[in-house]
Structure 1
Amino acid sequence: MRVVHFGHACVLLDSGTTRILIDPGTFSSGFEDAKDLDAVLITHQHYDHLDTERLPALLRANPRAQLIVDEGSAPSVENPTVAQPGETLKVGDTTVKVVGGRHAMIHEDIPIVPNTGYVVGDGAFYHPGDSLFVPDEDVDVLGLPTGAPWMRLGEAVDFLRAVKPRTAVPIHEKLLSMPENAYRIFEMLKPESTEIKPLTPGEVTAV
């Protein structure tokens, strides 16, 4: 699989026959030029994962793309398919299993919104959104949250160890001034069989 990281939570997955864009949010850039998409997936309604201003033009440029969202995002977009945890959806020539269901707690005074993680291609890639939900499937490549108001770095390490992917691609890094410090901790504390692979934003990378 080839992956493009557009910064923060936004990634483009290309299996060679299916192209899926996940979480085009306000902290990400370059996804506006993505073409030939089979689907756009949204994990949850927060603006760093869903840019409602740029999304319509992206969909117009990709008329065959399904828009698949969690139930909390559905009122903010037009004509979505609402994904429910436990479902397995068909996208192009691959499958997308919907997992999780709840955003991690930021603070007890802030309402918890829906959050759907997506396991693409029978575990080829897992994007957890803003949660640390561990799926039942073996995961080949994990989009690993790096910094967030809802997470300590130690929790990210424990999540990495629980999932045990072959490769972990750090995402959700835009809130950190020096995400490289987190990458070093991941490298120190990762499972022995896992490669930590930060991606250069906008570049196509085989993983």
Structure 2
Amino acid sequence: MTRRGFFKIFAVLGLGAAGGGAAWLQQARAKNPYYAGPRTDHFDGVRFFNPDHPWSKSFGELWRGVWFSDKAEWPDSWPSPYAGARPPARGEGDALRVTMIGHASLLIQTQGLNILVDPVWSERCSPVSFAGPKRANPPGVAFDDLPKIDAVLVTHNHYDHLDVETLSRLAARDAPRVITPLGNGTIMKAHDPKIAAESYDWGARAPLSDRVTVHLTPAYHWSARGVNDRRKALWCGFVIDAGPDNRIYVAGDTALGPGTIFSEIGRAHGPFRLAALPVGAYEPRWFMRDQHANPDDAIAILRAVGAKQAVGMHWGTFQLTAEAIDAPEQALAEARTAAGIAAEDFRALRPGEVWTG
């Protein structure tokens, strides 16, 4: 099977699981294998949802948006000029250091803590190791060059964010705490009981130290590991509160949607020193706008949460959608210029590239 052929099948099983247009898909499994809890304003007893952003594409729209959309050809290899970064053992005091690992994987160092977000060191983001979206560049930091990791934040269960093989390696090496939204801990522990997963709802707080607390925030997205578990685990963004002048917002995967949640996050947790915002995996736009932000959307999110600066992620490593590999970086530059934002205030990071402030 060609890479493009498997990409299409993977997209239907992965991205397509969000569609919800086919009755057989909606009725495939009545119970939730990951989480059992009371109904809330974003959980109906089986599936999670966004109260202000319902999304249901028909199966025909899904087929047209994923299977028949024209896709740019990505190079097999697109190495980063920053590859091979070697982070320090620890961050010092209020200093903030963010290193791009690749795609949505970030190493955040501050207040003496080393925090990984959505770590993926596997060669593919796929349910199988022999096929599926493959890295166009190696991780910006080699696994063996990572400092000791204190905590891991996992936003949701898509394969480009929740990589059980990497989590298992981290558990064996460092035994970090893993903070994740409801249901995702079940997936991790089923793979490896040694993964120290802690599952929380939106609005929960998890202290990492006497100086750093993590808050789980809503995101406009969805979840699935296959065709039968759509929206049965929760998704989220994170606020890392490391002091009044040292708060970081990590949006995770999100659409702009109606934007309600972002102004609320800004009021509840801001001001933010830095926001890590998704800028890639957004074409075809008519289909992807309900789940992934593009650079224009990312700037709207930046302004809504009130962050001083931002870094762009979720681009340039795994081909998940139709745009060219470098399109998000170019589109961000255009959107930045149109919005009057300086280049240094919103950079699309390449693997190994470092933001400090």
For 1:60, the equivalent position in structure 2 comes to 172
> 1:185 Cα deviation (Å)?
2.6
For 1:38, the equivalent position in structure 2 comes to 150
Whose strand proportion is higher, 1 or 2?
1
For 1:120, the equivalent position in structure 2 comes to 240
Distance, in Å, in 2 between the alignment partners of 1:152 and 1:5 is 19
> 1:42 Cα deviation (Å)?
0.3
- TM-score using structure 1 length: 0.84
For 2:221, the equivalent position in structure 1 comes to 103
Distance, in Å, in 1 between the alignment partners of 2:276 and 2:166 is 23
Seen in structure 2, the aligned counterparts of structure 1 residues 160 and 88 have a Cα distance that, compared at 3 Å, is: same
Distance, in Å, in 1 between the alignment partners of 2:186 and 2:166 is 16
From 158, 161, 165, the equivalent of 1:49 is 161
For 1:151, the equivalent position in structure 2 comes to 292
Structure 2: segments with no counterpart, 5+ residues: 1-95, 126-134, 190-195, 224-228, 282-287
SS in 1 for 2:249: strand
Alignment of 1:45-194 (within 5 A): 45-63=157-175, 65-78=176-189, 79-92=196-209, 93-100=211-218, 103=221, 111-112=230-231, 114-121=234-241, 124-131=247-254, 132=256, 133-134=261-262, 135=265, 136=267, 137=269, 138-148=271-281, 149=288, 150-151=291-292, 153=294, 154-174=296-316, 175=319, 176-178=324-326, 179-190=328-339, 192=341
Whose helix proportion is higher, 1 or 2?
2
Matched to 2:347, the amino acid is K
> 1:101 Cα deviation (Å)?
5.6
Count of aligned positions: 202
1:197 aligns with 2:320: no
Paired residues of 1:71 and 1:82 also in contact (CA < 8 A):
yes
> 1:147 Cα deviation (Å)?
1.5
For 1:7, the equivalent position in structure 2 comes to 102
> 1:181 Cα deviation (Å)?
1.1
Distance, in Å, in 1 between the alignment partners of 2:293 and 2:157 is 22
From 115, 127, 131, the equivalent of 1:20 is 115
| Rg larger for | 2
- TM-score using structure 2 length: 0.51
> 1:125 Cα deviation (Å)?
1.2
Matched to 2:252, the amino acid is G
Structure 1: segments with no counterpart, 5+ residues: none
> 1:6 Cα deviation (Å)?
0.6
Seen in structure 2, the aligned counterparts of structure 1 residues 22 and 31 have a Cα distance that, compared at 3 Å, is: farther
Paired residues of 2:278 and 2:312 also in contact (CA < 8 A):
yes
> 1:168 Cα deviation (Å)?
0.8
> Could you list the per-position Cα deviations for residues 107-144 of structure 1 after superposition, in whole angstroms to 9, with x for gaps in the alignment?
xxx94452111100256211111124411322220111
Seen in structure 2, the aligned counterparts of structure 1 residues 102 and 160 have a Cα distance that, compared at 3 Å, is: closer
4+ runs deviating over 6 angstroms: none
Percent identity of paired positions between Structure 1 and Structure 2: 29
> 1:190 Cα deviation (Å)?
3.9
Over the aligned positions, Cα root-mean-square deviation in angstroms equals: 2.6
Distance, in Å, in 1 between the alignment partners of 2:306 and 2:207 is 25
Matched to 2:253, the amino acid is D
Q: Please, which moves more after superposition, 19-28 or 9-18?
A: 19-28
> Could you list the per-position Cα deviations for residues 50-90 of structure 1 after superposition, in whole angstroms to 9, with x for gaps in the alignment?
11122201221112x21111123222212410021111111
